[in-house]
Amino acid sequence: MSVSLLRSSSADAIDKCIAALAVAFQRHIDVATIRVYRETLSPLPLWAIEAAALQLRRTGGEFFPPVAKWYALAEQLVAERSRETLQLPPTATVAGYECDGCRDTGWCEELRGDRVVCLECSCRKTNTNYQRLTLSSRKVNSSR
């Protein structure tokens, strides 16, 4: 790792988080430990590292948190934020089906006499869920 990267402002900010945690947990942290923590956490965005550090200070338990715990918590915060910014469509659209007849599978079951037959659903040409599903499964197959 380059010296310039270690001297970056985010490295300083991570150092401050470590120092604050050391105070909060009343523990002396040596230079080697700081370096390992800083290197481990540095791929994550600073806001997540800082938010996770604050959370650990409040609810981290009795002992100075291992870096893996800190990393996992920060990673979780990043995942939560990216889910929020994804702007998922309203729940009704996610849970419901465009076509209730086939549940967007493109196949509907029909009772003929005493047996059930599978038929191509008439929604196939207009059902965007069905089209997306078949397109993505085709992609999976062709990449093999």
Q: Which residues are at the interface with Zn ion (CB under 5 A)? A: 99, 101-102, 121, 123
Q: In this complex, which beta carbon is closest to Zn ion, that of residue 54 or of residue 101? A: 101
Nearer Cβ to Zn ion (76/122): 122
Q: Which is nearer to Zn ion, 40 or 101 (CB)?
A: 101
Q: Shortest approach of Zn ion to residue 124 CB, angstroms?
A: 7
* Angle, helix 67-85 to helix 46-59, in steps of 10 degrees: 120
Q: Closest approach of Cβ 119 to Zn ion, in Å?
A: 10
Structure tokens at 32: 């080697």
Please state the closest distance from residue 102 (CB atom) to Zn ion, in A. Answer: 3
